[in-house]
């Protein structure tokens, strides 16, 4: 299920495909919802992205279009 502004909720766990900051898909928890994006805390990621996650301090802003709700 894709996520939109109307159904994005703080605390929701989502999956995200690779982004320009992350080389592999990852999971995160929504911390804040913006107009077209969400601030995520990265909770589960590929080992190849460990340095990226540290550089991002476990946070990333991602377009709502890229989010899929974990069932």
In this prediction the pTM is 0.92
The pLDDT tens digits of the residues spanning 57-66 come to: 999 999 999 9
The pLDDT tens digits of the residues spanning 32-55 come to: 999 999 999 999 999 999 999 999
pLDDT at 28: 98
Establish if 3 belongs to a structural domain.
Answer: no
Counted domains in the chain: 1
pLDDT at 27: 98
Establish if 18 belongs to a structural domain.
Answer: yes
Domain containing residue 35: 13-69
Establish if 7 belongs to a structural domain.
Answer: no
Position 71 pLDDT exceeds 90: no
Taken as a whole, the chain contains a residue count of 71
Establish if 35 belongs to a structural domain.
Answer: yes
Establish if 2 belongs to a structural domain.
Answer: no
Establish if 43 belongs to a structural domain.
Answer: yes
Establish if 30 belongs to a structural domain.
Answer: yes
Q: What is the signed CA dihedral for 51, 53, 21, 44, rounded to 10 degrees?
A: 120
pLDDT at 1: 82
């Amino acid at each position: 299920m894709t996520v939109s502004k109307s159904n994005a909720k703080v605390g929701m766990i989502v999956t995200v495909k690779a982004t320009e900051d992350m080389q592999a898909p990852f999971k995160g928890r929504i911390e804040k919802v913006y107009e077209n994006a969400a601030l995520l805390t990265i909770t589960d990621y590929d080992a190849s992205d460990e340095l990226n996650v540290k550089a991002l301090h476990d946070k990333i802003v991602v377009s709502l279009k890229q989010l899929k709700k974990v069932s």
